[in-house]
Amino acid sequence: MIELVRTNDPVVISFIEALLRDAGIEFFVADQNMSVVEGSLGVLPRRVLVSSDTVDRAKRLLADAGIAGEIRNG
């Protein structure tokens, strides 16, 4: 899986999840449960991962939604 986005913003994560789900793109949000370790401070970023065969489509989807700035480079 390829890291598409890394952010501390739960609203951005939720928006991306909705976009990907509606587009039928499978994804995984890593580090969701790290709040137990960090004490619910929101310090540790969550990562949205997609498969390598859907990463280009997912990037276009986020760009079309106006959040291309959230996409990880690399």
pLDDT of res. 44: 81
Q: Are 1 and 53 in contact (CB under 8 A)?
A: no
Q: Are 2 and 50 in contact (CB under 8 A)?
A: yes
Closest C-alpha among 16, 1, 4, 2 to residue 72: 4
In a domain, 73, yes or no: no
Strand-pairing partners, residue 30, are: 47
Q: What is the pTM of this model?
A: 0.85
Range of the domain at 23: 2-67
CATH number at residue 48: 3.30.70.790
pLDDT of res. 31: 86
pLDDT of res. 38: 57
pLDDT tens, 9-67? 989 999 999 999 999 999 999 987 765 555 555 668 899 999 999 999 999 999 999 99
User: How many domains does the structure of the chain reveal?
Assistant: 1
